[in-house]
Amino acid sequence: MVKKVFTGIVILLLTTVGILFWQWNVYSEEELYLVDIEEQYILNQTDQDLIVKQIVSNLREGSYAISNPLNVTYTINGKDNHTDLLIVKEDLAAITFEYIIPFDATVESQLLIDWALQLENVQPTKTKLEITVEGNREGSWAAMAEKEGRAKKEYIDYYVFESSGPVFPLFYQKGELGYTAIDHSINLYYEKTDTLDIEQLSSYILNYPTMHHSTVIITNKHKAQSGNGLFILNHSNDLSDLKKELDHLYVDSMFPFENPEEKWQQHILGNLVNDEQLGGQKVEQMVALLKEELLEKEIKSFVDLAIQSTEPLTSESLDETLTAVTSKKTDFFKMNSKEEEQVKALYFYSVKSLVVNGVKLDGRAVYDDAQMLFPLKEVAEKLGFEFSRTERSSVVLSNGVETFRFFPDKNVFILNGTDYAAQTIPIKTINEQIYMPDQWLEDLIKVTVLKDEESIIIAKK
């Protein structure tokens, strides 16, 4: 009996120890997994090179593909590597890369975006970057990160930048750059002048939500551009000019476009958001058409959906967004994708197929307030009429028995030589095409208009 009890106790102890060991092992693995990966960059700027030491800490055991955007020659822990593959043999390892980036310290300006080696599928949670400048010390460095320190010593300049997340873009230019942090969320770098009111400029920048948690550089030594939290503005002593440039950069960051030729349409969205006068005459005309056709809540929903888009915008995607808001199909932005062409009217059309006397047409029925309009030429010809336009722009329909003469967008018509006045307009012009409302089709052409889930069917009575 004692032996059985002793054996049971031993088994219990072994089981308990096993459970504790298993829990500790799992806990340790979880703790290990949660360890943050950190990167430290130590850059030495000479007149012709950036000498880089890159230290990646807390890597887990495994193999990592190395992305090398500048195609530099590098070493790993002091040894040459020709495979673009890193093998880590133990957890929590620190790996050191060393390489040289060609650099000209005499250039007017230079923006370095994808400049560092990166381990694929590795997302650092903290990055610290130190720059030591030797030789030519006429330039200044800025970064898309918090500026932790700047020192000018007897023989060197020294910069320290730090940020959460992976490595950030760097900007270099000739001359001195001032720095201030706006509201602890915006890094502002600027060329020092006697007339630039930094306090007023900072208040302007705070009005643009997409500029929060970003870096703004004001300089006359680099072209204006924006993207991924970086805004570069051409230097101006006139705050009103800077504000206009901020308006354009803000719209550019909020509504990025995939096709540069369609990018001008972003000003339509910007004007709808801020009621600003950005862009040219066609922008103004399209904004007016949208405001005339849509309710205020529809405009707000349309703009909000465009802002929330995770992909660059296109004229087609804007049409899809407008369709989603109104539940009616449109090609408004696609038809107006070329800025130099004359503006085409905004209209919505039915997605249902149009069938006349059993034949499916290419044309679509369009909406005009509560009315539905049909492409007159296509429909009339399928109903046995000849369609023609006169030199005076009237439209003639004839089937050998009846002859109609219509005057686009006017509430008069002629039937078999007799003039008639109408309370509503029998035919309308939309983007140079002639349409007739369903009521006039039924009354004059003597047809029935039926609708099912997929089609709109027009047939003789």
Residue 26 lies in a domain: no
Among 212, 247, 282, give the residue marking a domain's end.
247
User: Which tokens belong to 384?
Assistant: 């046995």
pLDDT of 11 above 70: no
Range in 48-52, 192-196, 205-209, 353-357 with the lowest mean pLDDT: 192-196
Residue 79 burial (CB count, 10 A): 6
Mean pLDDT for the stretch of residues 104-131: 93
Range in 133-137, 282-286, 310-314 with the lowest mean pLDDT: 133-137
Q: Do residue 108 and residue 153 come from a single domain?
A: yes
The answer to whether 166 and 119 have CB atoms below 8 angstroms apart is no
pLDDT of 4 above 80: no
Look up the CATH number of the domain holding residue 177.
2.60.40
Among 247, 277, 292, give the residue marking a domain's end.
247
Which residue is it, tokens 């430290």? Answer: 40
Q: Given this model, what pLDDT does residue 194 score?
A: 59
At 282, the amino acid letter reads: K
User: How distant is the alpha carbon of residue 417 from its chain centre?
Assistant: 58
Residue 217 lies in a domain: yes
Residue 75 — pLDDT band, cuts 50, 70, 90? very high
Residue 77 lies in a domain: yes
Spatial separation of the C-alpha atoms in residues 235 and 198, rounded to whole Å: 13
Q: Do residue 172 and residue 45 come from a single domain?
A: yes
Look up the CATH number of the domain holding residue 403.
3.30.457.10
Backbone angles phi, psi at 76, to 5 degrees: -120, 115
Mean pLDDT for the stretch of residues 95-100: 96
Q: Do residue 197 and residue 57 come from a single domain?
A: yes
Residue 8 — pLDDT band, cuts 50, 70, 90? low
The answer to whether 58 and 143 have CB atoms below 8 angstroms apart is no
Residues near 68 by beta carbon (within 8 Å), at least 6 away in sequence: 74, 84, 117
Higher pLDDT, 74 or 199: 74
Q: Do residue 215 and residue 284 come from a single domain?
A: no
Q: Do residue 93 and residue 165 come from a single domain?
A: yes
Spatial separation of the C-alpha atoms in residues 74 and 455, rounded to whole Å: 65
Q: Do residue 415 and residue 438 come from a single domain?
A: yes
394 burial type by CB count under 10 A (0-12 exposed, 13-18 middle, 19+ buried): middle
Among 335, 362, 382, give the residue marking a domain's end.
335
What is the CB-side half-sphere exposure of residue 397 using CA atoms within 13 A? 24
Largest CA distance in the chain: 124
Residue 197 lies in a domain: yes
Q: Which residues are 149's β-sheet partners?
A: 160
What is the CB-side half-sphere exposure of residue 103 using CA atoms within 13 A? 28
Q: Do residue 314 and residue 379 come from a single domain?
A: no
Q: Do residue 85 and residue 152 come from a single domain?
A: yes
pLDDT of 1 above 70: no
The answer to whether 95 and 88 have CB atoms below 8 angstroms apart is yes
Residue 30 lies in a domain: no
Q: Do residue 194 and residue 272 come from a single domain?
A: no
Q: Do residue 375 and residue 405 come from a single domain?
A: yes
Q: What is the pTM of this model?
A: 0.63
Q: Given this model, what pLDDT does residue 237 score?
A: 63
Range of the domain at 129: 38-247
Spatial separation of the C-alpha atoms in residues 332 and 299, rounded to whole Å: 14
Q: Given this model, what pLDDT does residue 302 score?
A: 94
Indicate the DSSP class of residue 380.
Answer: H
In the chain, the number of structural domains is: 3
Q: Do residue 64 and residue 207 come from a single domain?
A: yes
Residues near 430 by beta carbon (within 8 Å), at least 6 away in sequence: 345, 347, 366, 373
